[in-house]
Amino acid sequence: MTRPLAPLPAALVSAVRHIAATPHLLVALDFDGTMAPLVARAEDARPLPRSAAALATLSSLQSTTTALVSGRALASLRAVATPPAPTLLVGSHGAESWWGPDSPALELTADQAAALERARALVTQATTLYEGTVQEDKPSGVALHYRQASEADGRAAVDHVRKMVAQDPAIYLGTGKMVLELSVLNANKGQSLTTLRERTQATATFFAGDDVTDEHAFAALLPGDLGVKVGQGETAAGFRIAAPAALPQLLELLVSARREFLHVT
Ligand SMILES: O=P(O)(O)OC[C@H]1O[C@H](O[C@H]2O[C@H](CO)[C@@H](O)[C@H](O)[C@H]2O)[C@H](O)[C@@H](O)[C@@H]1O
């Protein structure tokens, strides 16, 4: 039996009501570990239905922009999240963006393309050597997943790749939950959130995320914005909820407060 969720803390309820009353609201959400509970295989992740429904409703409201800001490649994000049509997308930890048909395609220089080949070869080598590790290719990077590996194999695979990448200044390393991320572009979610805010002319931003890569986004929030960390770990976010299962009630509160502010019945 699932335990009933604790009610949201009064301070968070009040912060949600406050941000809902802004002229143009940007609601930006991380996907894995936030909209979707973490699962063994990346391709099996799906948003919790109530979170997806709340996102869809928010995306239909006037003066409200929704965005998913993910470490996944855009194609992978679209496949698992099936985002509502108006939702803007950021993928590959900020290296890819979709904010409408005029979005620039991601282009790599010849040097970056060569570095990407080297990064992929390294990860392929590690997944061949260490059982249970999995490679996920992205347009400007590659992820080494070790969630399904033994602790020893996971650690050895990560050490192997880290050691090799240390000799290659064209490859940037990042970490996540049971994943090592290699990229040939030095992007982050904080830069993306700032760009989203400017493009949409948002007067306040709501962002929720669970991972270390989301800390760039929390750090990019401004006074009057609202950051919510999902789960445990150090954070710069002002508020925290326990797990993705607690996100629906937060988003549903935002929907009802926003509707009230916009006089939508
Ligand atoms: O920024 P996010 O949307 O949170 O994406 C971060 C990474 O998420 C995915 O990996 C994570 O979720 C998987 C599915 O639950 C899980 O199996 C894995 O262990 C997690 O690290 C995704 O596969 C990565 O590409 C994203 O960078």
- Indicate if ipTM > 0.90: yes
> Which residue, 133, 27, 31, is CA-closest to 76?
31
pLDDT of residue 206: 98
How confident is the prediction along the chain (265 residues), in pLDDT tens digits per residue?
Answer: 566 778 899 999 999 999 999 999 999 999 999 999 999 999 999 999 999 999 999 999 999 999 999 999 999 999 999 999 999 999 999 999 999 888 888 999 999 999 999 999 999 999 999 999 999 999 999 999 999 999 999 999 999 999 999 999 999 999 999 999 999 999 999 999 999 999 999 999 999 999 999 999 999 999 999 999 999 999 999 999 999 999 999 999 999 999 999 999 8
Lining ligand 1 with CB less than 6 A are 30-33, 38-40, 42, 45, 70-72, 136, 143, 145, 147, 176-179, 181, 211, 213
Angle at 247 between CA 243 and CA 251, to 5 degrees: 170
Is residue 58 within 8 Å of 252, Cβ to Cβ? no
| Single pTM value for the model | 0.97
- CATH fold for the domain made of 110-183: Alpha-Beta Plaits (3.30.70)
Domain boundaries, the chain: 10-105+188-262, 110-183
Phi, psi angle pair for 104, to nearest 5°: -70, 140
> Which residue, 111, 220, 130, 230, is CA-closest to 180?
130
Amino acid, single-letter form, for residue 136: E
Determine which residue's CA is closest to atom 13 belonging to ligand 1.
42
* Distance of CA 71 from the midpoint of ligand 1 (Å): 7
Q: Which CATH class for the 10-105+188-262 domain? A: alpha beta
